[in-house]
Every structure is written in C-alpha cells, then in structure tokens.
Amino acid sequence: LLLFPPPALGSYSAGREAAESAARGVGTFPELPAGDPVELTLGEFSSRAIYDSERSLRGRTVRMTGFVTHEGEDGAKEAGTWYLTRLLVSCCAADASPYKIEVRGADAPPDDTWVTLTGTWHPAGELGSEEAWPPVLDVTAVRTVEEPANPYEKR
C-alpha cells in the first residue's frame, strides 16, 4: 500500500469557496516595521486594507506570496481580473478559506502559479465596507516562485 499526501488546495478550491468578505467595523493595528518592502501575509494585508483606521498601508511598499486565481465564470469583474490568493486554515485543509487580493498593473500568470508580488495598496471603498473587498494591490514586480513547503497561512 502506497500513501501519498494529497496536493495542496489551489485555485479550484479558492473559486468554489465563498470568499471572505468584509464585515462592518474598523480598528487599529500595531505599527508596521520600518523599511520597504514590508513582508506581509495575505491575511494581514487584507485586514489592514479593510479595517485599519490608521491606514498603516498608505504609502508603504509590501511584498506577499500566494498563488494566482482568476475571476470565476459567473463573476462580476471584467475579463482579465486576477488575484493573489492564499488559503487560511485554523486546523487543517478541511477548514480552509480563501483570502484574495485583486492585482492591478501586471499581466496574469496562469492559475495556480505561485508568485511573489511587490506593490502598494490601492485604497478602494469605505473602510470596513463590502466595497473595500477584495483589497487591491498596484503591482510593481511579479516574481514566479516555488510553492512553499507549507502553502497555507494560519489564522
């Protein structure tokens, strides 16, 4: 009997899950470290972009790693919209939920390609509102990378 670990969940799973959406509410966050670019998880970037009343991302260059997804067939976004995506887990892949960041200013690699993006936050929508979801990144650099040993972010 041979046992193989299942492959990591990818764009198919992210597209089939109900995307995390912004709930009403705002807050404050710890100060970001000095220097640019700031390495962030997609979860932290999303939370700061949607809820941070101090707008700590404004004017900062950030770097994040995830895999590429595109808008679903029935999605409302225009053709060509793509996302940097990461699945967040509390326990295991069974409870995974996607975090997506809309990417602007760069051509899209194929679905499930792992990339590291560098760019700046593009404010959209009122803080804490549905219109602020998904957060937007104006990209200045795209680098293809290998899938990380642990492709999931922890909550």
CATH of the domain at 100: 2.40.50
Q: Do the domain assignments include residue 23?
A: no
Token pair for 70: 């595109």
Is residue 4 in a domain?
A: no
In whole angstroms, give the CA distance from residue 22 to residue 100: 12
Does residue 25 belong to any structural domain of this protein?
no
Asked, for residue 26, whether it belongs to a domain, the answer is no
- Report the domain count for the chain: 1
Beta bridge partners of 83: 69, 102
Q: For residue 57, tell me if it sits in a domain.
A: yes
**In a domain? residue 28:** no
Indicate the pTM of the whole model: 0.78
Domain containing 90 equals 11-18+33-154
* pLDDT tens-digit map of 43-64: 999 999 999 888 999 999 999 9
Q: What is the pLDDT of residues 87-111, one digit of tens each?
A: 988 887 788 888 899 999 999 999 9
Q: In angstroms, rounded to a whole number, what is the distance separating the alpha carbons of residues 86 and 68?
A: 9
- Rounded to the nearest 5 degrees, what angle is found at the Cα of 17, between the Cα atoms of 71 and 143? 50
